[in-house]
Amino acid sequence: MFEVLAFSCSLLLSFVLTGVERNHRQRRPHAPVLVYAGYALVGLLSTSAVLLTGYAAGSALGYV
């Protein structure tokens, strides 16, 4: 299950970064769907980083 999540997250990240780079090169504004997808990725990745840090700290202290 983790592999599917990592694969779909990497595909979305590739889509967002490619679109941002193309818009920057052509000096055009970003599409709203591109901005929303970027915000969704930031939220997903920051939440998973906090959860994984908590899990690592909990297992190091013997709580998990």
Give the model's confidence band at 6: pLDDT under 50 very low, under 70 low, under 90 confident, else very high: confident
Give the model's confidence band at 63: pLDDT under 50 very low, under 70 low, under 90 confident, else very high: confident
Q: Which of 3-12, 27-36, 50-59 has the lowest mean pLDDT?
A: 3-12
pLDDT tens readout for residues 22-54 = 999 999 999 999 999 999 999 999 999 999 999
Asked if pLDDT for residue 64 goes beyond 90, the answer is no
The pLDDT of residue 59 is 95
Sign of CA dihedral 51, 49, 12, 42: positive
